[in-house]
C-alpha cells in the first residue's frame, strides 16, 4: 500500500514537472523570440558585411581605403537615427573636450575659407593669435614652413591645434597692404567663456549673455548676477538667443541661481533604467525674487530650452522672443576601441510640468527618409505652477512674441559672399582706430566707400524671384514652350529685375548695421559686437518693457 502511494506521488510529480516544462517551453519563445530574432539579424548582417569587405579587398579593380570606407558606412548608418548620434574617431577627440569644457589647446583663432584662400576669420581677444597682432582677414600662406595653398580649413585647423606649450609658426599675408607677416605662437589653453558679456543696460536692469553650457556656465552666470546686483540691478535679462545648449547639469545650476535648493528642474527617461534620472537644485540660490526675462529664438536649443522651459513651468520668469528649436534629447558619450567615441542619444528630458519639448520625431521617418514634426494630435497640454497652460512637442513658446528680423535678399548675398567681411578687413588695415562701440555709427562717407568697394568688386546678385524665373525659362525651353511665350517671359524679367543702386539705398539701415557690427568686431572683438547690437534690439526692448511694468510682468506669470 505504501509503495502504491509512493508511485502515485512520483507519477504526480513527473506530471507536474512535465506540465511545467511544457508550459515553460511554450512560453519561452514568446519571451525571448524578439531578443533572438534581433540577435540573429545583427549576426547575419555583420557576417554579410564582413564577407562584402573581404570580396571588395580581394576583387575590386582599384586599391581601396579601408578607413575611409568604414567611416563612410558608419556615418551613413548613424544618419538613419538622429543628427545627434555621431561617431568620433581618435583624431577628433579634442572635439569632445571642447563640447564639455569649452577648452582646447591652440592659438585662439577661427579660420574660414573662400574660393581662393584659407584665412583667419576671428582671432579671440587675449589669445596668442591676437597678442601676436594677427587680424581677421589675414590669409594663411604657411604653417610651420609648409605651404597650405589648395588645402581646406579641415586640413589646416588640426595643424594649428596641439599640445599646450608647443609652438607653431604661421606665415600670413595681410590684404590691401600686401604685408607678409611670420609669427611663432605658443599654444595655450583656449577657453570659450559661457558668459561673454554682461552689463547694466538701464539703471536698475542687468543683462547677461549666456552663449553656451560648457563646464562652469552656472558659476559664470552666478558671478555676473552678483556683480550686477552690487551695481544696483533689480531685474535681469538672461539672453539665450542662438545658444545651442551643452551640459544638462549646467542648465540645472543656472536655474539653481534663481530657485530654491531641492527644486526639481529636469528628469530624463530612456530605454533602460540607467538613463532615468531626476535633477534638482543642489545649492542655496542667489535670488529667488528678482524679476527675470529670458530672451530666446529658434537657435535656442537643448540646455537653453531646459532653462527657458523650467523658468516658464515654475512661473519664475517670462520668456520673450520666438519659439525655441525643440530639442528634447539627451546625448551621452561612450568609449569605443582604439580611443574612438560614440556620442549617442540615450534619453529624452522632461521639464517640471512633465512636458518634453522635442519637435521632430526621428523614430518615425517618412518613406523618403525625411523627418516630420510631432503631429498636432499627439501634442498634450500641461500646466505651470500657477496653472497657466503650456504644451509639449515643439520647443518653448514665448510669453511675449517678437517677430524675427529677416534679412533682405541683398544683405544675405553680401554676407554669404563675404563682401561685408572683405570691406571690414580693408577698413581695419587702413584705419588704426575707431570710437568705442557705444559711440560708433556708420557715416555717409563710410557707406559711400562701401558702395564704391562693391563697384570695384563688380558685385552683382540675383534675387530669389529672378533665380526662380530663370529656372522656369530653362524648363520652358527644354519643353519647347518658350518660343510661343517669349514676350511673356521678357515682360516678367523686366518686372522682376532688381536695381542694385536702389536696393543699396532702400536697405541701407540694415546693411549699415551689419557692416558696423563687422567693423567693430575687428577692434573690440565679441564684447564690442554685443554692445553695439544691443543698441537697437527689438527683443531686448520688449523684455525691458515688461520688466519695467511690474503689473504686466505679474499678469503674464499668472500672479
pLDDT, tens digit (0-9, with 9 covering 90-100), for 31-63: 445 556 778 888 899 999 999 999 998 999 999
pLDDT: is 367 or 519 the higher one? 519
Lowest mean pLDDT among 140-149, 233-242, 329-338, 491-500: 491-500
Q: What is the mean pLDDT of the chain?
A: 89
Lowest mean pLDDT among 36-50, 91-105, 331-345, 452-466: 91-105
User: Is residue 302 annotated as a catalytic residue, yes or no?
Assistant: yes
Q: Residue 66: is its pLDDT beyond 70?
A: yes
CA distances to 88, 157, 332, 555 from 335, in Å:
10, 24, 10, 50
Mean pLDDT of 161-187: 94
* Beta strand segments in 160-303, E: 167-174, 179-186, 188-191, 197-202, 205-209, 235-239, 264-270, 277-280, 292-296
Q: Of 176, 223, 234, 249, nearest to 201 (Cα)?
A: 234
Lowest mean pLDDT among 80-89, 93-102, 257-266: 93-102
CATH 3.40.50.12280 is right for the domain spanning 103-191: no
Cell of 233: 540691478
Tell me 61's DSSP state.
S
Mean pLDDT of 6-23: 47
| Alpha-carbon torsion (94, 96, 99, 101), positive or negative | negative
For β-strands 329-335 and 318-321, DSSP reports them as unpaired
Mean pLDDT of 12-29: 47
Lowest mean pLDDT among 2-6, 120-124, 210-214, 263-267: 2-6
Q: Which of 127, 211, 300, 302 is catalytic?
A: 302
Q: Are 370 and 79 in contact (CB under 8 A)?
A: no
CB atoms within 10 A of CB 10: 10
- Does this chain's domain 103-191 share its CATH topology with 197-404? no
CB atoms within 10 A of CB 37: 10
pLDDT: is 86 or 93 the higher one? 86
Q: Which of 313, 399, 422, 517 is catalytic?
A: 313
Structural domain spans, the chain: 103-191, 197-404, 409-462+498-542
Mean pLDDT of 255-281: 94
CATH 3.90.226.10 is right for the domain spanning 197-404: yes
pLDDT, tens digit (0-9, with 9 covering 90-100), for 495-532: 777 788 999 999 999 999 999 999 999 999 999 999 99
Lowest mean pLDDT among 380-389, 396-405, 489-498: 489-498
Using H for helix, E for strand and C for coil, what is the string for 127-165? CHHHHCCCCCCCEEEEECCEECCCCCHHHHHHHHCCCCC
Distance of CA 222 to the CA centre of its chain: 23
Query: What end-to-end distance do the CA atoms of the chain give, in Å?
Result: 87
pLDDT at 10: 46
Q: How confident is the model at residue 306 (pLDDT cuts 50, 70, 90)?
A: very high
Q: Residue 376: is its pLDDT beyond 50?
A: yes
Beta-ladder partners of 276:
none
| Alpha-carbon torsion (334, 335, 337, 338), positive or negative | positive
pLDDT at 20: 44
pLDDT, tens digit (0-9, with 9 covering 90-100), for 270-298: 988 888 999 999 999 999 999 999 999 99
Cell of 80: 538613419
pLDDT, tens digit (0-9, with 9 covering 90-100), for 98-115: 666 767 789 999 999 998
How far is residue 146's CA from residue 114's CA, in Å, rounded to a whole number? 20
pLDDT at 497: 76
Residues in the chain: 559
Amino acid at each position: 500500500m505504501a509503495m502504491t502511494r509512493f508511485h502515485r506521488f512520483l507519477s504526480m510529480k513527473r506530471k507536474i514537472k512535465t506540465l511545467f516544462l511544457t508550459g515553460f517551453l511554450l512560453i519561452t519563445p514568446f519571451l525571448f523570440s524578439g531578443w533572438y530574432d534581433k540577435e540573429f539579424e545583427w549576426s547575419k548582417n555583420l557576417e554579410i558585411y564582413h564577407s562584402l569587405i573581404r570580396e571588395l579587398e580581394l576583387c575590386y579593380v582599384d586599391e581601396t581605403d579601408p578607413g575611409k570606407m568604414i567611416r563612410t558606412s558608419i556615418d551613413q548608418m548613424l544618419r538613419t537615427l538622429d543628427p545627434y548620434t555621431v561617431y568620433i574617431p581618435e583624431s577628433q577627440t579634442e572635439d569632445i573636450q571642447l563640447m564639455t569644457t569649452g577648452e582646447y589647446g591652440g592659438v585662439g583663432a577661427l579660420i574660414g575659407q573662400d574660393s581662393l584662400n584659407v584665412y583667419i576669420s576671428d582671432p579671440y581677444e587675449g589669445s596668442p593669435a591676437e597678442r601676436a597682432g594677427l587680424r581677421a582677414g589675414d590669409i594663411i600662406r604657411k604653417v610651420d614652413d609648409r605651404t597650405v595653398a589648395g588645402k581646406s580649413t579641415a586640413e589646416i585647423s588640426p595643424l594649428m591645434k596641439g599640445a599646450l606649450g608647443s609652438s607653431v609658426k604661421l606665415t600670413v599675408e595681410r590684404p590691401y597692404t600686401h604685408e607678409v607677416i611670420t609669427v611663432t605662437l605658443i599654444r595655450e589653453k583656449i577657453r570659450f567663456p559661457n558668459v561673454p558679456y554682461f552689463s547694466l543696460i538701464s539703471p536698475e536692469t542687468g543683462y547677461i549673455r549666456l552663449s553656451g553650457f560648457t563646464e562652469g556656465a552656472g558659476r559664470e552666470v552666478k558671478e555676473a548676477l552678483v556683480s550686477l546686483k552690487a551695481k544696483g540691478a533689480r531685474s535681469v535679462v538672461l539672453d539665450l538667443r542662438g545658444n545651442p545648449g551643452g551640459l544638462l547639469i549646467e542648465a540645472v545650476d543656472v536655474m539653481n541661481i534663481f530657485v530654491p535648493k531641492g527644486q526639481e528642474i529636469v528628469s530624463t527617461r530612456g530605454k533602460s533604467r540607467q538613463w532615468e534620472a531626476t535633477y534638482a537644485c543642489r545649492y542655496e540660490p542667489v535670488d529667488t525674487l528678482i524679476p527675470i526675462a529670458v530672451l530666446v529664438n529658434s537657435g535656442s536649443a537643448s540646455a537653453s530650452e531646459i532653462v527657458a522651459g523650467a523658468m516658464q513651468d515654475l512661473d519664475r520668469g517670462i520668456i520673450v522672443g520666438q519659439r525655441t528649436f525643440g530639442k528634447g534629447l539627451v546625448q551621452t558619450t561612450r568609449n569605443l576601441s582604439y580611443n574612438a567615441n560614440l556620442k549617442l542619444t540615450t534619453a529624452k528630458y522632461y521639464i517640471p510640468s512633465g512636458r518634453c519639448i522635442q519637435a521632430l520625431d526621428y523614430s518615425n521617418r517618412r518613406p523618403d527618409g525625411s523627418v516630420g514634426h510631432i503631429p498636432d494630435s499627439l501634442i498634450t497640454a500641461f500646466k505651470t505652477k500657477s496653472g497657466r497652460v503650456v504644451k509639449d512637442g515643439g520647443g518653448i513658446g514665448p510669453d511675449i512674441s517678437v517677430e524675427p528680423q529677416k534679412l533682405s535678399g541683398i544683405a544675405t548675398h553680401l554676407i554669404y559672399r563675404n563682401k561685408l567681411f572683405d570691406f571690414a578687413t580693408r577698413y581695419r588695415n587702413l584705419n588704426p582706430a575707431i570710437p568705442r562701440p557705444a559711440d560708433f555709427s556708420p557715416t555717409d562717407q563710410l557707406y559711400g566707400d562701401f558702395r564704391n568697394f562693391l563697384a570695384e568688386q563688380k558685385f552683382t546678385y540675383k534675387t530669389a524671384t529672378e533665380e526662380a524665373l530663370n529656372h522656369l525659362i530653362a524648363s520652358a525651353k527644354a519643353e519647347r514652350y518658350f518660343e510661343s511665350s517669349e514676350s511673356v517671359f521678357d515682360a516678367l524679367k523686366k518686372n522682376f529685375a532688381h536695381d542694385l543702386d536702389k536696393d543699396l539705398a532702400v536697405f541701407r539701415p540694415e546693411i549699415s548695421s551689419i557692416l558696423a557690427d563687422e567693423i567693430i568686431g575687428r577692434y573690440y572683438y565679441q564684447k564690442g559686437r554685443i554692445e553695439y547690437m544691443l543698441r537697437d534690439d527689438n527683443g531686448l526692448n520688449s523684455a525691458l518693457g515688461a520688466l519695467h511694468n511690474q503689473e504686466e510682468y505679474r499678469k503674464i506669470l499668472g500672479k
